[in-house]
Amino acid sequence: MSRLRPGETCRVDFSRPLEFSFLGREMTGYAGDTVASALYGAGVRIFGRSLKYHRPRGLYSMEGESANTFMSIDGVPNECAETTELRAGMAIEPQNVRGDPGRDRFGFLDAFDRLMPAGFYYHLFHRPYALWPLFQSGLRRMAGTGVLDPGAEYRNGVRTERYLNADVAVIGGGPAGMAAALAAGESGLRVCLFERRGRLGGQMTWRVRDFEGEPLYRRAGALAARVRAAENVNVFTRSPVTGVWGENLVTGFAVGTEDDPFRECHWECRATTVVVAAGCMDRPLVFNHNDRPGVMQVGTAWRLARTYGVRPGKSVAFSVADDLGLEAAIDLDDMGVRIRFIADARESGQQGPEVFDALCDRAIPFFPGCAVSRAVGRKRVRGCVLRSLKGGRSRRFRCDLLVANAGMQPRIGILATAKARLAYCTHTHGYQPTELPPGVFVAGSMTGLRDPRSIEASGRVAGYGVAEWCGGRLKSVAGARAPAREAEALPGPGAGCGIIHAPAIGRGAKAFVDLDEDGTYKNVKESIARGLDVPELAKRFAGFGLGPGQYRVAGQNLAMIMADLRGDPVETAHPTTVRPPLGAPSLATLAGPGHDVHKRTPLHSELAGRGAVFRRAGAWQRARHFGDDPSCRDEIRNVRTNVGVLDSSPLGKFRIHGPDALNALQRVYMSDMSKARPGRCKYSAMCNDMGQLMDDGVVVAEGPGDYYFTTSSARAGDTVEWFRFHTRHDDWDYNLVNLTDVLGSLNIAGPNARRVLERLTRDNVSNQAFPYLACRRITVGDGVEARCLRLGFVGELSFELHAPASYVPYLWDLVMEAGADFGIRPFGLEAQNCLRAEKGHVIIGMESEQRVTLTDIGMGWMWDREDTVSKKVGAPALRACDRQPGRLNLVGLRVEEGAKAPRDGTLVVDGDKIVGYVCTTRSSDTLGWQYGLALVHREHAFPGRRIHLCHEEAPGQRVTSTAFVMSPHFYDPRGERLRS
């Protein structure tokens, strides 16, 4: 198909053809085309089928305002063909279509519209109720848009995010937005300018009308060049705004081109002020069969010709309601497109003199006070019926394209999300802000201005207004006042056309108010008849504005039509709430870049070299086990009988010092922390205000008012916040330093641990010099000083070495070398978990939960009950539930020989009652039987008690087995091995 050569306004490069396919048919477009313009240029007229009635739909808007042209592109559904730029090799499929969109199998549904009145989904097909699931699945199959493939990968391309800060966010890169950005930039403010199209200039980029001696597109081009050159104006094109939020946070996304390092980028701009210059869009004219392929908005036909060089039709009828529509018709005529007639909903005399003169110069039939009342033709427009708005005679014309609108309406979505108060203006016949939130300014054609000078001046006024608001460095006060005076002298907002719908509406034909949801004029009447007589209710009931168009196309018309049908004045009409996102970023973009942000221990590569299987544990990647045995039998046996080494670097490590350090420790720890001594580890725990166990660790005094302490890995990140929060009223003088990432640690555990350590250091580490729970500073290898803590979490003789993270790989090498003769091997978190459970040591979150307190899990011994002075966090709660009946207690279980093995989480039952659950259970080689740690009600929590475990094999199919309660300290209950 031949294309027009529109000259300088053209964005398409005809020297660069791009091959793509539609429904498997090869087609050619050009670089610079959107998918929609390429398809239209290749002769495609039916783009898809409508949601409910499966009516054929064509290209209606050019800015992604209707869902008619949503396509599946390269397998990704619901891509907006109108705004997606064409790339070579795209495979494009229409949606909601069985087969070719011209011969859709469900096309017959259009004749059954009586079965689908407004809100039918809520009140039809529900009786008899048993049949509803059948109807529902049928309806869902026939209606809808794109289809997701559960197996497909949609996170293609790089998705990034960006956080911006600006004094001014200008939304809209048309002449007003550019003028505002320049004025604000000249005042010394940092400006971000967001434009959703690929090019600055807005509507002026395709208008060729001469204005003050040059065509408008050149005027816009010159302004754009100044904006691009301005130092503190940051321009973002292809960046639709999704909403404006509290305190002027502007969010949106940028669509990447081939030169960008991303496919799509989510951005958020925290701006002191916002200038909204979003411009206008066509207000659809509601008439009979206004959805036929071949009916389109003024801007669509105009841009097809001017921007993309596509001939929109051979014989074009125009039904418009403002001067811009007339200008478009005249321009198309100049380009050699045959204009059948132009109807203007306004009476004669309301047209601007210049366009009227231009119109008179041409031999185009002109009908003021008339509008198109019906499109003729089923799968394609073949003609139309023109009618006078005063009633009276109608006349039929042949045409293959019908360009219709009811004038322009401001794009108020951004103002609405910014919570501006809007009201219908009877002069411009659009919604105008009556009250703006602090720091929000409006400029440009959305205020009703039509004269290019006025539009630019309004931008300058907004720009200097913003500068005044921000206290920018204005050159002079007079300089700021000048644009306001200048703007006052220019033409103000033009009068709009208040036409609500075309004449003779709804007589035996569908007239669509909302194309996306197949909402007709008749549906509005049905909705009102059922008492749902305001837009917000009709929206929920009949779906107006619920579709991808979200308010944009249906909004103003729906409100006006409802007010008209109710017999109320049109200015009482209020549109439905506009909800973000205003543009549609892909879910993959919102999901984020998807990279896993984690910490690695200093020994990560050493562990990986030994076959570690890593799992995420909190912020860290940690070695779960080594080799392919997830039950870790060999690792466990090696620790019990020989010696193993664990990378425990994620352990929380802190220093607290200052005159009030002890007070702070007393506040958060349950024990009497004044008993913490130099060279000795004091084990204690923290509770929250409900007495629940939050954390445990050891504290070592290192000097007067100076302590070193450890926390569990999971709590390391919260500890500073916790200390500071619980001492926030006390004005205490202490410093808390998080050393977790600074220090790495290694745990050498097993009967041979001391013999390995002796080879590393000359310090005396004998049982007398270095007893259980001692803490020493020892020198290892070539003079690395390490804190060495003799602890026993895994129930064996063990030494924990804490040293600066950069030295830890060196220590690791030393340990592995020294232990080689013994057959030392690393063990992972799973082995540690089994080892500590055999010993009956709890892990917070595994054997403790919201319902249990410190005393419930058998750690009440550490609580200093006498201390009321330091106001320990959790002490009052522990006191209150000390003797409370019905509490859960931690017990050990020995599962009966040969009985079914429980799993972590298996329920403990007493008859029909649940009386607890198994927290951790393993089959132990060390013990020779299956043990478990369980939380059970106090009345069952005594040694020797026989309890029942309930296994659910399949839903409803339960099997019970028996276990005996015992002390949780299964292994080495007297702690001889720890002290050996």
Partner 1 sequence: MTFRLTCPVCGKRDVYEFTFGGQERGPRPEQDGLSAEEHFRWTQFRLIPNEPQEEWWYHGQGCGVWFRTTRDPGTNREVR
Contact region for partner 1 (CB under 8 A) — 353-361, 639-647, 864-872, 934-942? 864-872
- Considering the complex, what minimum distance in angstroms separates the CB of residue 245 from partner 1? 5
The minimum distance between CB 690 and partner 1, in angstroms, equals 7
Options 31, 42, 76, 249; binder of partner 1; rule CB under 8 A:
249
Residue ranges in 661-700 that form contacts with partner 1 under rule CB under 8 A: 689-690
| x/- letters, 698..737, toward partner 1 (CB under 8 A) | ----------------------xx--xxx-xxx-------
CB of 133 to partner 1, least distance (A): 38
- Spatial neighbors of 357 by CB under 8 A, at least 6 apart, are none
Backbone angles phi, psi at 494, to 5 degrees: -80, 155
**DSSP output for 801-838:** EEEEGGGHHHHHHHHHHHHGGGT-EE--HHHHHHHHHH
Considering only 210, 247, 629, 904, the residue that binds partner 1 (CB under 8 A) is 247
Q: Do 489 and 479 contact (CB within 8 A), yes or no? A: no
For 392, counting Cβ atoms within 10 Å of its Cβ (0-12 exposed, 13-18 middle, 19+ buried), the class is: exposed
Q: Which of 775, 770, 805 is nearest to 787 (CA)?
A: 775
Token pair for residue 965?
């309660």
Closest approach of partner 1 to the CB of residue 121, in Å:
32
Identify which of 506, 581, 577 has the alpha carbon closest to the alpha carbon of residue 544: 577
**Distance in Å, CB of 539 to partner 1, minimum:** 23
Residue from 862, 853, 864, 914 nearest 889 by CA = 853
By beta-carbon proximity to partner 1, the closer residue of 592 and 876 is 876
Q: Using CB under 8 A, which of 120, 121, 211, 245 touches partner 1?
A: 245
606 versus 660: smaller Cβ distance to partner 1:
660
The SS3 assignment for 101 reads: helix
State in angstroms the smallest separation of the CB of 873 from partner 1: 8
Contacts of 210 (CB under 8 A, 6+ apart): none
Question: In this complex, which beta carbon is closest to partner 1, that of residue 384 or of residue 662?
Answer: 662
Q: Show contacts with partner 1 in window 607-646 (CB under 8 A).
A: none
Number of residues that bind partner 1 (CB under 8 A): 24
Alpha carbons 888 and 259: distance in angstroms, whole number: 62
Using CB under 8 A, which of the segments 26-34, 679-687, 799-807, 873-881 binds partner 1?
A: 873-881
x/- binding map, residues 495-524, to partner 1, per CB under 8 A? ------------------------------
Residue in 218, 378, 871, 977 binding partner 1, rule: CB under 8 A = 871
Dihedral sign of CA atoms 717, 723, 729, 733 in order: negative
Residue 133: φ, ψ to 5°:
-55, -35
Q: Indicate the residue among 495 and 877 with the shorter CB distance to partner 1.
A: 877
Query: What dihedral angle (degrees, nearest 10) is formed by the CA atoms of 467, 470, 475, 480?
Result: 40
Q: Quickly count: other Cβ atoms within 10 Å of residue 485's Cβ.
A: 11
Least Cβ distance, residue 881 to partner 1 (angstroms): 9
Instruction: Supply the minimum distance, in Å, between the C-beta of residue 188 and partner 1.
Output: 20
Closest CB 724 distance from partner 1, rounded Å: 5
Q: Per-residue string for binding with partner 1, 457-496, x by CB under 8 A? A: ----------------------------------------
User: Which helix (H) or strand (E) covers residue 179, if one does?
Assistant: helix 175-186
Nearer CB in complex with partner 1: 243/792: 243
Give the binding range for partner 1 (CB under 8 A) out of 85-93, 104-112, 243-251, 914-922.
243-251
To the nearest whole angstrom, how small is the minimum distance from the Cβ of residue 743 to partner 1?
19
Shortest CB 238 distance to partner 1, Å: 24
Q: How far is the CB of 689 from partner 1 (least distance, A)?
A: 4
What's the Cα-to-Cα distance from 263 to each of 20, 173, 256, rounded to whole Å? 19, 22, 5
Q: Which is nearer to partner 1, 616 or 724 (CB)?
A: 724
**Residue 867 Cβ, how far from partner 1 at the closest point, in Å?**
9
Closer residue to partner 1, CB minimum distance, 438 or 911: 438
We find the least distance from the C-beta atom of residue 936 to partner 1, in angstroms, to be 25
Which residue from 894, 828, 348, 333 is spatially nearest to 630, judged by alpha carbons? Answer: 828
* Region binding partner 1 by CB under 8 A among candidate stretches 179-187, 629-637, 742-750, 866-874: 866-874
Could you say which residues in the range 359-378 bind partner 1, by CB under 8 A?
none
Q: How far is C-alpha 392 from the geometric centre of its chain's CA atoms?
A: 54
Give the integer Cα–Cα distance in Å for 76 and 152.
Answer: 9
Q: Please, which residue, 109 or 416, has the CB nearer to partner 1?
A: 416
Residue 53 CA, distance from chain mean position: 33
Residue-wise burial string across 572-604, b where 16 or more C-beta atoms lie within 10 A, e elsewhere: ebbbbebebbbbbbbebbeeeeeeeeeeebbbb
Q: How far is the CB of 875 from partner 1 (least distance, A)?
A: 6
Among the listed ranges 67-75, 213-221, 585-593, 868-876, the one in contact with partner 1 (CB under 8 A) is 868-876
| H-only helix segments in 255-297 | none
- For the four alpha carbons of 381, 383, 388 and 393, in that order, the dihedral sign comes to negative
Instruction: Write down the least CB distance from residue 718 to partner 1, Å.
Output: 9
CB of 431 or CB of 723, closer to partner 1 = 723
Query: Which residue lies nearer to partner 1 by CB, 131 or 880?
Result: 880
Q: Which is nearer to partner 1, 14 or 725 (CB)?
A: 725
Residues contacting residue 501 through CB under 8 Å, at least 6 positions apart = 285, 286, 287, 406, 511, 521, 557, 561, 564
- 128 prior amide bond cis, ω within 30: yes
- Minimum Å distance from CB 866 to partner 1? 11
Q: Which residues in 88-117 contact partner 1 (CB under 8 A)? A: none
Q: Judged by CB under 8 A, which stretch of 68-76, 115-123, 871-879, 908-916 contacts partner 1?
A: 871-879
Q: Which CB, 166 or 893, lies closer to partner 1?
A: 166
Find tokens 């220019």 and name the residue.
490
Dihedral sign (CA 139, 145, 148, 149): positive
Return the number of the residue (245 or 683) whose C-beta is nearest partner 1: 245
Q: Are 593 and 425 a contacting pair, CB within 8 Å?
A: no
Rounded Cα–Cα distance for residues 279 and 171 (Å): 10
Coil, helix or strand at residue 480 = helix
| Nearer to partner 1 (CB atom), residue 426 or residue 735 | 735
Identify the residue among 3, 226, 270, 755 touching partner 1 (CB under 8 A).
Answer: 270
Task: Tell which positions 874-893 bind partner 1, by CB under 8 A.
Answer: 875-877, 879-880
Q: How far apart are CA 871 and CA 878, in angstroms?
A: 12
Q: Which residues bind partner 1 (CB under 8 A)?
A: 245-247, 249, 270, 689-690, 720-721, 724-726, 728-730, 868-869, 871-872, 875-877, 879-880
